[in-house]
Amino acid sequence: MGLLEERFGFHFWLVVGSCFLGFLGIGAIIPVLAPHVRQTLGESDVTLGVVVGVFSLVALMSRFLSGRVVIRYGRKYGLLLGLALCSAAGVIYLIPAGIHAIFLGRVVHGLGEAFLYTGAASWIVDLGGPSRRARALAFLSTGIWGGVSLGPVVGQALGKFHSAAALLVITPLLAIAALWHVRDMPVAASPAGPHRWIPRGALLPGLALGFTNVHYPTLAGFLVLHLAGRSNCGGTAFAAYAFMVLTSRFFLGGLPDRLSPKVTFFGGLALMAAGLSLIALAPPAPVAIAAGALIGFGFGFPWPSMASFVLEKSSDHERPSALGVMSACVDGFVGVSSMAAGAVAARYGYPSIYLMALLALGVAAVLGQRVFEEPPEPSVDTSPLLATQR
């Protein structure tokens, strides 16, 4: 295949860029939210926990709704709606109504994030074409991770909650303006009969991905504390992890398309298991940083591998819901494992939570084997605009 055939089109990169802008605003709120709620508004830690958690809860519950809306009204509609809701959340944050405005803003923000991702992911796999779904999803993940990683840095630099909220108003509007004149993919005709909120074949892969993501809160929440007594390099090790996630997805995200989703899925799990085993030992700084990088490199593969396999078996009208279900599973597992990691660490110490993450990878491997036992049925791409939008 020639070089020109390998390239993604301008509209493809507009969708990736819109996700970057949307998640840049989401990330900018993170470092300034807690000080604003606790210090400026004088609320309690309990209230802060509710305000932080309601975003994830609403996003989780909205995944199923967003899939149905994208199926009915189109990929572009879902993405633009998500961006508009994120911008509206920024406006609500700026309303001088105390904690009530913050809580309402977090609800709208979580709803917007769900629609933003489902619309973008559904659109990006159509633009990428049936032979490059894993690569397309990997590039989209790179845009999301880039926004989530850079957003907190920008938010910290802005310093004030209302400045970050103003940024949240602006960045989604820039993305909407960029996408406004881009033609959507045709909405596939839905088959007769009742529609499934959870498509057949999406739940088990979602559970496998959920168990794969159990490791994330153990790193994001506890790695600094775990390594403080030995090498005191938790922040650097986590930065190496995040950098390698971006690197592997950007440069190697297309491997599931070229090799086999099964091979790259289990290869990623194996690399993650090796890195977590080293991290559990609280090794010296060079080893800990290398282990963090190894976990991140491996983590770059399970999502595009599993998602491309499931989408290959899904019809056009089922793909948005399938993506929503798998994303909901990831959200749910990250939330539950965050609480579980805290309880396990309090009772058994920090090394035990990395053993918990290793056990979760074992469960993910068992579930993944069941998913890949059934060979995918070739799906027919019915999108006539692919040739004009690449």
The span from the CA of 274 to the CA of 297, in Å, is 11
The pTM assigned to this predicted structure is: 0.78
DSSP, residue by residue, 266-289: HHHHHHHHHHHHHHHT---HHHHH
φ, ψ dihedrals at 282, nearest 5°: 50, 60
The one-letter amino acid at 380? V
Predicted confidence at residue 191, as pLDDT, reads 54
H-helix or E-strand spanning residue 178: helix 161-179
Please report, in tens digits, the pLDDT of each residue of the chain (390 residues total). Answer: 333 345 788 889 999 999 999 999 988 888 888 888 888 999 887 788 778 778 878 888 888 888 888 888 888 999 999 999 999 999 999 999 999 999 999 999 999 999 999 999 889 888 888 878 888 888 998 898 888 888 888 888 898 999 999 999 999 999 999 999 888 766 655 554 555 656 777 889 999 999 999 998 888 778 888 898 778 888 888 888 988 998 898 888 888 888 889 999 999 999 999 999 999 999 999 999 999 999 999 999 999 999 889 888 877 677 788 888 888 888 888 878 888 888 888 899 999 999 999 999 999 999 999 999 875 444 444 443 333 333
Predicted confidence at residue 5, as pLDDT, reads 42
User: Are 288 and 166 within 8 A, CB to CB?
Assistant: no
CA-nearest of 171, 201, 175, 169 to 123 is 175
The one-letter amino acid at 226? H
The one-letter amino acid at 339? M
Predicted confidence at residue 297, as pLDDT, reads 96
**Domains identified in the chain and CATH numbers:** 3-186 (1.20.1250.20), 203-373 (1.20.1250.20)
Distances (CA, A) of 170 to 77, 84, 94, 136: 19, 10, 13, 26
For the segment 338-349, what is each residue's pLDDT rounded down to a tens digit? 888 888 888 999
With helix as H, strand as E and coil as C, how does 181-201 read?
Answer: CCCCCCCCCCCCCCCCCCCCC
Predicted confidence at residue 383, as pLDDT, reads 40
Predicted confidence at residue 195, as pLDDT, reads 58
φ, ψ dihedrals at 184, nearest 5°: -80, 165
